[in-house]
Structure 1
Amino acid sequence: MKTIILFAMLASLVCMSCTHKRQQAQQEAIPDKELFIMESSDTVAGIQDASVHKYSITYDTPECYLWYVMDLPDEYQDRPISMWMERPIYGENVHLINVFVSNPTSTSLMYGRGWAVERWNGEEWVMAKTKGDIAWFDDGFNKQKAPLLYCFSLPIDRYYHLSKGKYRISKSFYAKREEIKLNAEFEIK
């Protein structure tokens, strides 16, 4: 009987250890490029390419490239639900782009993995040139809290070829079963 109890305890310990390691592996996503994370002049961290420092980004929700979520700062309380880029202009060698979404309402937002990059061709927005086929699982994540500020750190160079031009990122959110499609424009120079 003692052997059975000892075996059951050992098996439980092994299972808990494996589960903990799997959760850690899911939480940490390491981008293809080396990154240096530094503070910027505003309230968000800037990410720049560096060859001497190598840091991984620990995503809050790796499936969606959601880097972090925080209570909405007072300065965003009077805006509508909106999305914007960390910077208006990026170089052609950009690896990650940080996209911010503010939800000043009391209704939590649902979001999925999907996002798209479109290019302005002078007449209309068209799909940007991709590095192969892109498909996202149609699922929904929700922090069950509001108001919030979301920061998505999107590995743009993993999915798109971006030459000089005007672009926008599109991402859909849902509040009370209604779609809220948000766009944020930027340039590649």
Structure 2
Amino acid sequence: MNMIQNHYPLNTKNVYAILLNPKLKSLIFGGDWTLQKWENGSWMGAKMNGMYGFGDVGMQLNFAPDYYCFSYPVSCYRITPGKYRIIQSFHDGREEITVSAEFWIDE
């Protein structure tokens, strides 16, 4: 998975990622994802703004595209400048596949 941009402004509402699919697997995915921030030499869970929750409803396309594109609403979190990563899990019917992509939030 790769971010569409490596740097986003502090006031960004969403960040975007592309998952390339060269083996043309039909993947099952949902809204369950994790945002982490690099702090003091390790990845820490980002703090949310208020009372949010993400349910995980599975979705599977009835075809296997060359790539999947995702939008992640980071405005639900207390964003400060720094290095972040998105972690998302997928399932191909046999195994779980977990991927991540890093990006920066700038002032």
TM over 0.5: yes
Distance 1:150 1:106 in 2: 11
Q: Is the 8 A contact 1:112 1:139 kept in 2?
A: yes
**1:35-92 deviation line (CA, Å, top 9, x unaligned):** xxxxxxxxxxxxxxxxxxxxxxxxxxxxxxxxxxxxxxxxxxxxxxxx1111111111
Q: Give the aligned residue type for 2:101.
A: A
RMSD, aligned CA? 1.5
> Counterpart amino acid of 2:78?
H
Considering fraction of residues, name the structure with more helix: 1
The answer to whether the aligner puts 1:105 opposite 2:105 as a matched pair is no
Q: Any residues of structure 2 matched to 1:71-86 within 5 Å, and which?
A: 83-86=1-4
Alpha carbons 1:97, 1:153 under 8 Å: kept:
yes
Match of 2:87 among 170, 173, 180: 170
CA contact (8 A) 1:92 1:163 kept: yes
> Which residues in structure 2 correspond to 1:6-85 (within 5 Å)?
83-85=1-3
Give the gaps of 5 or more residues in structure 2: none
From 66, 71, 82, the equivalent of 1:153 is 71
TM-score normalised by the chain length of structure 2:
0.88
**1:184 aligns to what SS in structure 2?**
strand
1:180 corresponds in structure 2 to 97
Q: Please report how far the alpha carbon of residue 147 of structure 1 lies from its aligned counterpart in structure 2 after TM superposition.
A: 4.0
Q: Show the counterpart of 2:56.
A: 138
Post-superposition shift, 1:168?
0.2
> By percentage of residues, which structure has more strand?
2
Indicate conservation of the 8 Å contact 1:105/1:147, yes or no.
no
AA aligned to 2:28 is M
Per-residue CA deviations over 1:141-179 (Å, capped at 9, x if unaligned) read: 01122243111122221x111101110011111112311
Q: Which moved more, 1:170-179 or 1:146-155?
A: 146-155
